[in-house]
Chains A and B, each alone.
Chain A
């Protein structure tokens, strides 16, 4: 099993540009999470999907952020327009059904907005 796959691993973009981060969860997992990690705030949950449906997006910083899960094997996190304060490492994680199930994280996407 390849685990959770995220792309790209690194992204450098200019302020104002649109950025799309991609995630392929582990096959068979029906819960998907997007987290953001910064030095100041640590790891924060941005959004949680269950069976492709967004359940909790209360962690999404503002309207510039949007996330989709069109099918069980793919999710995107989009930032439009991007700002320097969006610079962070973004992690995708997936798990089997059930809140107590352990989450498996991808390697993350390091986003730098200049």
Chain B
């Protein structure tokens, strides 16, 4: 039973911002939103996570709507090396398991 919905694929121009949407309409109060990505032939890589406030780190920004039913991962200046599958994951505060869905395949084009 998928907790998140993501578009299967999207393209982005190099140097432009990439905005990756994720719907999690059944999210509960104790659940965080996590983003991971997987570059081809590599293991998943943690990007960012948040509960209800917007978050920013050196890799990306996470914008969570006020009702927490959706979020957007923003890669501010996409590069070719950002081409990967991006996973949006909802996880309970006390849960150790990361449940990966199909993710969004992001292709950054020159």
Contact = CB atoms under 8 A, between A and B. Distances in A.
A4 B101 CA distance: 23
A55 B44 CA distance: 22
A48 B99 CA distance: 13
A5 to B, nearest CB: 11
Specify the main secondary structure of chain A where it touches its partner.
strand
Interface residues of A, number: 21
Contact of A105 (B45, B49, B92, B96): B45
Given A105-B44, A107-B42, A107-B43, A99 B102 contact: no
A89 to B, nearest CB: 9
17 contacts: A4-B43, A33-B98, A43-B100, A45-B97, A56-B97, A91-B43, A93-B43, A99-B91, A99-B93, A99-B94, A99-B95, A100-B32, A102-B34, A104-B46, A105-B43, A107-B42, A108-B41
Interface of A: 4, 31, 33, 42-43, 45, 48, 50, 55-56, 91, 93, 99-100, 102-108
